Structure 1
């Protein structure tokens, strides 16, 4: 992810956090999906508030985790990977993609979760199902940024809308 994208996403998150201080709580995740023909790989990064992620994992998987100070990092990795894979799916050119969990990191109160999937042929059509945090937060919004060969498209899914299609 380039510096401008990172700066933009952090600015948006900062703005949303400052708005939350004055208004009622809000629930949002931001997911970036990037593909370039040279890498032959789809790269996914999900930004989710750490406390919301912990609550969703506990409620859906019946597993308590602490993503900031995990007692068992491997168990926490498995829980995060399982939760996201159950609630987030990608289909490229009509073929479902099996996402491989690469890990996560914490930045302030946001968990950045990373996945990848091989993709040999250029993407012409991408379908995303994203219902992250929908079971726990009725006002959840999931923002999607999809970049294929340097062409970017974005959308927002408000609960209960779960899917979006992108054509390149």
Structure 2
């Protein structure tokens, strides 16, 4: 009985400990039918809520309570930018977000593009880097037959990309 209680206590404690790594996944994929790049971010819900709370002047954000589209869109636009070679930002269209397990998927679109629309661009990806020194943002790019993965860290938040 004591062993079962100890096991329950340990499992309960582990459930309340934050995940041990800080990472996000961004997928950028060309949609030929719509002539647009689809941009999808997968971010841990607790990390996103912490970032949004900070953006919201300390007022606590709970994503399951209500929709926070405006705040999420503003935060992502501040942290993620795709710019052309002359550093002119490309216009991303916000689509929305949805939960998946312990994470949130956030969707944007880069409309009016050809498959080579990400040739010679610069990407800034500082999502959650203001909160976590060990934050890693992975970006998977896919257009036609080309695929590329880029890793963004605090010491390398802006990178030139050609796909």
Category of TM-score, reference length = shorter chain: 0.7 to 0.9
User: 1:111 maps to which residue?
Assistant: 104
What secondary structure, in the 3-state scheme, does the structure 2 residue paired with 1:67 have? coil
Q: 1:112-153, CA deviations, whole angstroms, 9 ceiling, x for partnerless residues?
A: 000012133432223210000011111101001111223110
Is the 8 Å Cα contact of residues 50 and 110 (structure 1) preserved in structure 2? yes
User: 1:138 maps to which residue?
Assistant: 133
Larger radius of gyration: 2
User: TM-score of the superposition, structure 1-length normalised?
Assistant: 0.76
User: 1:68 maps to which residue?
Assistant: 64
What secondary structure, in the 3-state scheme, does the structure 2 residue paired with 1:51 have? helix
Is the 8 Å Cα contact of residues 30 and 46 (structure 1) preserved in structure 2? yes
Tell me, in whole angstroms, the C-alpha distance in 2 between the residues paired with 1:105 and 1:133.
18
Deviation at 1:38, TM superposition (A): 4.4
Deviation at 1:104, TM superposition (A): 0.5
- Residue segments in structure 1 that go unaligned for 5+ positions in a row: 1-19
- Residue segments in structure 2 that go unaligned for 5+ positions in a row: 1-13
The structure with the largest helix share of the pair is 1
Tell me, in whole angstroms, the C-alpha distance in 2 between the residues paired with 1:98 and 1:166.
17
Deviation at 1:103, TM superposition (A): 0.6
| 2:79 counterpart of 1:79 | no
Deviation at 1:92, TM superposition (A): 4.2
Is the 8 Å Cα contact of residues 93 and 111 (structure 2) preserved in structure 1? no
User: TM-score of the superposition, structure 2-length normalised?
Assistant: 0.78
Tell me, in whole angstroms, the C-alpha distance in 2 between the residues paired with 1:103 and 1:77.
7
> Is 85-94 or 140-149 further displaced after alignment?
85-94
